[in-house]
Chain A
Amino acid sequence: MNEMRPASEAELCEIIRAASGPLVVRGGGTRGALPAGAVLETGGLNGVTLYEPGALTLVAGAGTPVAELEALLATEGQRLAFEVPDLRGLLGREGTSTLGGVVAENASGPRRVSVGACRDFCLGVRFVDGRGEVIRNGGRVMKNVTGYDLVKLLAGSRGRLGVLTEVALKVLPRPETEATLCLSGLSDAQAVEALSAALGSPYEVTGTAHLPGQGTYLRIEGFEGSVRYRLERLRAVLASYGAGVEVASPWAAIRDVTALAGRPGDLWRLSLRPSEAPGVVARLGAEAVVYDWGGGLVWALMAPGSDVVGRLGAFSGHATCLRGGVAGPEEPPTIATLTNGLRLQFDPRGVFA
Chain B
Amino acid sequence: MDMPRPDAAILSRKARIVARLREVLPADAVVDDLHELRAYECDALSAYRCPPLAAILPRSTTEVAAALKICHDEGVPVVPRGAGTSLAGGALPTADSVILGVARMNAVLEVSYTDRFIRVQSGRTNLSVSGAVEEAGFFYAPDPSSQLACAIAGNIAMNSGGAHCLKYGVTTNNLLGVTMVLMDGTVVEIGGPWMDAPGLDLLGVVCGSEGQLGVVTEATLRILPKPEGALPVLMGFDSSEVAGACVSDIIKAGVLPVAIEFMDRPCIEACEAFARAGYPMCEALLIVEVEGSEAEIRHQLDLIMQIARRHTPVELREAADADQAKRIWLGRKSAFGAMGQINDYMCLDGTIPVSSLPFVLKRIGELSRDFGLDVANVFHAGDGNMHPLILYNANLPGDQEKCEALGAEILKLCVEVGGCLTGEHGVGIEKRDLMAVQYGPADLEAQLRVKDVFDPKWLLNPAKVFPLQVTASRRAG
Contact = CB atoms under 8 A, between A and B. Distances in A.
Given A53-B252, A145-B208, A196-B115, A271 B422 contact: no
Interface in B97-140: 112-116, 137-138
A77 B225 contact: no
A113 B194 CA distance: 10
Contacts of B114: 193, 196, 200, 274-275
Interface string B221-257: 0000111100000000000000000011101111110
B194 A146 contact: no
Interface in B159-216: 159, 161, 165-166, 169-170, 172-173, 186-190, 192-205, 207-209
Contacts of B170: 143, 145
Interface residues of B, number: 94
Contacts of B355: 52, 54-55
Nearest to A295: B115
Interface in B244-294: 247-249, 251-256, 292-293
Interface in A141-159: 141-153, 155-157
Given A56-B251, A135-B442, A223-B299, A141 B383 contact: yes
A320 B113 contact: no
Contact of A229 (B113, B256, B296, B427): B296
Nearest to A199: B116
Interface stretch (A31-39, A89-97, A172-180): A172-180
A141 B442 contact: no
Interface stretch (A210-218, A256-264, A334-342): A334-342
B113 A297 contact: no
A142 B351 contact: yes
Nearest to A228: B295
A52 B383 CA distance: 13
Contact of A201 (B205, B225, B449, B452): B225
A119 interface: yes
Contact of A223 (B208, B296, B446, B454): B296
The 9 closest A-B pairs by CB, nearest first: A152-B204, A54-B248, A143-B423, A341-B453, A173-B254, A318-B198, A142-B383, A345-B449, A141-B351
Interface of B: 112-116, 137-138, 158-159, 161, 165-166, 169-170, 172-173, 186-190, 192-205, 207-209, 225-228, 247-249, 251-256, 292-293, 295-296, 299-300, 351-355, 380, 383-385, 418-427, 431, 435, 438-440, 442-444, 446-447, 449-454, 465-466
Interface of A: 52-57, 76-77, 106, 108, 112-113, 116-117, 119-120, 129, 133-137, 139-153, 155-157, 160-161, 172-176, 193, 196, 199-202, 222-223, 225-226, 229-230, 233, 271-275, 293, 296-297, 316-318, 320, 328, 331-332, 334-335, 338-339, 341-342, 345-346
